[in-house]
Amino acid sequence: MGDKILVLDAGTTSTRAMVFSREGRMESVAQAELTQHYPKPGWVEHDAAEIWDKTLACMREAVGEGASQIAAIGITNQRETVVAWDRGTGEPLARAIVWQDRRTAGFCAELKDVGHEAEVQKRTGLLLDPYFSGTKMRWMLDNDDAVAAAAQEGTLAFGTVESWLVFKLSGGTHVSDASNASRTLLLALDGAQFDEGLCELFGVPLAALPEVVDTHGQLANCSSDWLGRDIPVCGLVGDQQSATIGQGCLSFGETKATYGTGAFVLTNRGGDIPHSDNRLLGTVLHQSGGQRTYAVEGACFVAGSLVQYLRDQLGLIESARETEDLARSIEDSGEVVIVPALAGLGAPHWKPDARGVISGLSFASGKAQIARAALEAMAHQTHDLASAFAADGAPWASLKIDGGMSANDWMAQDLANILDLEVERPDFVETTALGAAICASVGAGLYTTLEEAASAMRGPARSFTPAMSEDVRKDRLARYARALSVA
């Protein structure tokens, strides 16, 4: 057996396969974009068959002739996206409903109106919001004939993306790791498996759900059909938990923020089940031998997707890289402020019906001002989260950042300025994939603990320190608060 790790990173806009050495060096990568389907305002869908086909092609490209060197596979994924498939045929029954999708806002409101949210939050750590998987499953059952028929016949399988990929890789193993399962509204944070009472509340058949397993260990087996030999799947972990592990936030209180399609902040809270009075989320960070480590999380739905919107929908820029040069080309945003509620507002506001706002426009406003305001929105949203974490008794002493947007030096410095905190960014910003590699390496026995693996596999980092006057900071935050009030 070799000592390399194959990581499958099934993201929102693309799927990738990467081969990591035992020391954490990425040796090869293959990537394919995923088609985004927007059939109605607020609806976002993927083709699950496309996710599988492109993931398979990427893993074959990344591994090449080196399958004999792969010790294990780790998978990390967009978490709350729901796939429905037939256990017998192994084929999807409908398009996957993506985590950004807001179609179940009405159902969530109904459950809130009859008083279910407090008990749901207490048991699951989550709020009643379309973001989470359980309401998406219920919508499929109510609105898709093929899904409803499969449920009636007992052949329906529901799962998040890691569950779907494991089923296809293994030829029928139906599992979900605890970090992903904790994002469904169907798992009590102190429950080993999906909860019958929660399934009844949301109208989801327990029989259609996977077995909940650890985030690292001997979890499944990839068939020789795909890479020419059987390879164990030894790591399964949701993307934000994976990034937290990849950042080495394995001790109580350590915090990371990932800026990808959305922005997600997690603080390690150890073995105590978390509770928030400020509309943050409790989630499973990782699990081994049934023992869980938890985190508090704040999620902003729009981060990098705002820059993508400026590029693809408005045509203001040709590439994301332009935003840094545009931001540096002017002294300030000219009072232009963006509230990026293109998919509603997440934590700590939780307003699924909110819509994006661009305020402060004048004839002096051009694409540089709008691009800079888009980057500034990342710091504004993160400041909202920092305030909520502090109110919950979990203030940040510093912040580790990663994800594609974090490579932007101007944005990293702006975060430090607005948060008035030191911000640390690793030289290798793909910590989501690295976290899955760390989990799989421990699951395969290459290392004994996550701490040992993270110490060996993480590389150097760069720090950004605050350099903004208090007056400028207060003025920025006040303008954002005014814009936020009309979102």
- The 10s digit of each residue's pLDDT in 415-461 is 999 999 999 999 998 899 999 999 999 999 999 999 999 999 999 99
Provide the pLDDT for residue 261.
85
Mean pLDDT of 19-31: 97
pLDDT for 125 beyond 80: yes
Extents of the domains making up the chain: 4-239
Mean pLDDT of 275-300: 93
Provide the pLDDT for residue 390.
92
CA distance 122 to 430: 33
- The 10s digit of each residue's pLDDT in 244-264 is 999 999 999 899 999 988 898
Determine what percent of the chain is predicted with pLDDT higher than 90.
Answer: 90
Provide the pLDDT for residue 184.
98
Mean pLDDT of 20-48: 95
CA distance 329 to 367: 11
Least confident of 73-77, 119-123, 378-382, 394-398: 394-398
Provide the pLDDT for residue 370.
97
CA distance 159 to 200: 17
Provide the pLDDT for residue 209.
98
6: Cα separation from own chain's centroid:
20
pLDDT for 1 beyond 90: no
- Asked if residues 83 and 93 have their Cβ atoms less than 8 Å apart, the reply is no
- The 10s digit of each residue's pLDDT in 352-403 is 889 999 999 999 999 999 999 999 999 999 999 999 999 988 889 889 999 8
Determine what percent of the chain is predicted with pLDDT higher than 70.
Answer: 100
- CATH H superfamily, domain 4-239: ATPase, nucleotide binding domain (3.30.420.40)
Provide the pLDDT for residue 347.
86
* Residue in the block written with tokens 């017998």: 88
Nearest 5°: the CA angle 194, 52, 243 is 60
Question: Higher-confidence residue: 487 or 270?
Answer: 270
pTM (two decimals): 0.88
CA distance 279 to 340: 19
Q: What angle in degrees, to the nearest 10, is found between the helix axes of 105-113 and 133-143?
A: 110
Q: Mean pLDDT, the chain, as a whole number? A: 95
